[in-house]
Amino acid sequence: MEVSDAGEARRVLVVEDEEGLRLAYERILRGAGMAVVTCDSGEAALTRLRNGERFEVIVTDLVMSGMNGTDLLPLIRQFDGEVPIVIVTGQPSLRSSIAAVENGGFRYLLKPVASRELCKTVSAAAARHRLAALKLRALEVCENEGWRSAAGATLTEDFEAALGQLYMVYQPIVDASSALFGYEALVRTQSAAFRGPDQLFDAAERLGRVQELGRRIRFAVCQDIKDAPADSVLFVNLHASDLSDPELYGKESALAAHAARVVLEITERKSLNGSGDVRAKVGELRGLGYRIAVDDLGAGYAGLSCVNVLEPDIVKLDMSLVRDIDASSRKCSLVRSMLRVCQADLGMLVVCEGVETLAERETLVDVGATLLQGYLFARPQRSFADPATLVASSGYFAVGASAPIAVDG
pLDDT at 409 over 80: no
Residue 5 falls within a domain, yes or no? no
Q: pLDDT class for 387, splitting at 50, 70, 90?
A: low
Report the C-alpha gap between 400 and 391 in whole angstroms. 9
Are 53 and 94 within one domain? Answer: yes
- CA angle at 71 for the pair 69 and 74, rounded to the nearest 5°: 105
Are 305 and 356 within one domain? Answer: yes
Q: pLDDT class for 98, splitting at 50, 70, 90?
A: low
Nearest to 38, CA basis, from 47, 49, 25:
25
Residue 38 falls within a domain, yes or no? yes
Are 226 and 166 within one domain? Answer: yes
Are 220 and 160 within one domain? Answer: yes
Residue 145 falls within a domain, yes or no? no
Each residue's pLDDT tens digit, 122-173: 999 888 888 877 766 665 554 444 323 333 433 578 888 889 999 999 999 9
Nearest to 121, CA basis, from 89, 87, 95:
87
Are 223 and 127 within one domain? Answer: no
Are 266 and 230 within one domain? Answer: yes
The CATH number that applies at residue 80 is: 3.40.50.2300
Residue 120 falls within a domain, yes or no? yes
Strand partners, 173: 182, 373
Report the C-alpha gap between 229 and 236 in whole angstroms. 16
CB 103 within 8 A of CB 84: no
Are 33 and 93 within one domain? Answer: yes
Residue 274 falls within a domain, yes or no? yes
Q: What is the CA radius of gyration of the chain?
A: 23
Residue that is last in its domain, among 132, 148, 183: 132
Report the C-alpha gap between 34 and 27 in whole angstroms. 10
What is the count of structural domains for the chain?
Answer: 2
Are 162 and 112 within one domain? Answer: no
Residue 139 falls within a domain, yes or no? no
Q: Record the pTM.
A: 0.66
Are 246 and 364 within one domain? Answer: yes
Each residue's pLDDT tens digit, 72-94: 888 888 888 778 899 888 776 66
Determine the pLDDT at residue 302.
34
Query: What is the separation, in whole angstroms, between the first and last Cα of the chain?
Result: 31
Report the C-alpha gap between 229 and 385 in whole angstroms. 9
The CATH number that applies at residue 209 is: 3.20.20.450
Determine the pLDDT at residue 323.
92
Each residue's pLDDT tens digit, 266-292: 875 555 655 667 888 999 999 999 999
- Residues in the chain, overall count: 409
Q: pLDDT class for 206, splitting at 50, 70, 90?
A: confident
Q: Which letter does DSSP use for residue 405 in this model?
A: P
Nearest to 360, CA basis, from 373, 341, 350, 342:
373
Domain range for 105: 11-132
Determine the pLDDT at residue 49.
92
Are 185 and 284 within one domain? Answer: yes
Residue type present at position 350 = V
Most confident range, picked from 149-163, 193-207, 287-301, 320-334:
320-334
Looking at the chain, the whole-number percentage of residues with pLDDT higher than 70 is 79
Residue 115 falls within a domain, yes or no? yes
Are 180 and 72 within one domain? Answer: no
Residue 127 falls within a domain, yes or no? yes
Are 215 and 126 within one domain? Answer: no
